[in-house]
Amino acid sequence: MFRKIAGFIRQVMVKVGLVKNIKSLSDVKSIPINDEYYKHIDMWKALYQGYFSEWHDVKYMTINGQKKRRMATLNMPKVISQGNNSVRHHK
């Protein structure tokens, strides 16, 4: 409910010209961000969720030729993130 009201107020302020509408962080000159940052964010999000194809799809050679399998995961990015979060809250 509060988000809807805040969104409506923001839209009105953008139309009136009191607030600039930023569609992308790359539009803001003071924030040095490019597509490479977005790629890293997407990669870490996929790792956090447990599967990133470039990371988890493993190719290996056998006597019968090259094979491909999905690497087993321990979900370490998620474990590390939760550990860092708990450390921050205990300070």
* pLDDT tens, position by position, 20-37: 666 666 666 676 777 788
Which token pair is 32? 């040095």
70 contacts 56 by C-beta, under 8 angstroms: yes
Mean of pLDDT over the chain? 79
CA distances from 68 to 7, 19, 20, 75 (A): 47, 52, 49, 20
DSSP string, 27-63: G-TTS---HHHHHHHHHHHHHHHT--HHHHEEEEEET
* pLDDT tens, position by position, 54-87: 888 999 999 999 999 999 888 888 888 887 776 6
The model scores a pTM over 0.75: no
